[in-house]
Amino acid sequence: MSILARLTEKSWDASSDSEIDNRPDRPSAGAVGLIVYFAVAMVMFSLLTAAYLMRMGLHAAMGHSGEDWVPMPDPPLLWINSAILIGSSLAWEVARRAAMRDERRQAAQASFAGAALGLGFLVGQWLLWRHYQAAGYYLSANPANAFFYLLTALHGCHIIGGLVAAGRALVARNLRHTGLCALYWHFLLLVWLLLAGLLVST
């Protein structure tokens, strides 16, 4: 089909919804929505990262006077949580590939494992917060703490959204939704690795 024909085509003239969904040249509504979400989320996290670096740079320019900016330590639980999220992403990749082969049982099992590991990561993050608070690293203590809690809380909210989407995919047993969930969790892993690298290195 030519580009002009695709641009002028009326999707409501198609004989059925399944005919539209099965066409390889037409992305699904879910895929388009996910791409838009990725763009918005990346802008949000990029702006927060820029603000973090600017605030840290301002402290450095002032000659490290006082205790205004004190980076938080990186306990073993931080790396354990990172490993759990990597495992979740790998499980979702197994599910995605199984879905491409139309192996519904394996796709469902791997999806459940990926969602369970995602929930484990969320619990681990809560335990990490408790660890920091017990050590006296409160949100209001200094700006570095505030940025840590803000960034990890936003990422945690996206994890919760991913768990909701995973639950819907498991209930519906839709293989296309499994693939979209896998892409979503890969994105969450990428964002977390970037955030963890930023917070630890500074």
Chain segment 186-197, per-residue pLDDT in tens: 999 999 999 988
Strand, helix or coil for residue 102: coil
**pLDDT tens digits, residue range 33-69?**
888 999 999 999 999 998 988 887 765 555 554 456 7
Check if the beta carbon of residue 173 is closer than 8 Å to that of residue 42: no
- Options 3.10.20.30, 1.20.120.80, 3.40.50.1100, 3.30.365.10; CATH of 16-201: 1.20.120.80
Domain ranges of the chain: 16-201
Q: Residue 12 contacts by C-beta under 8 Å, 6 or more apart in sequence?
A: none
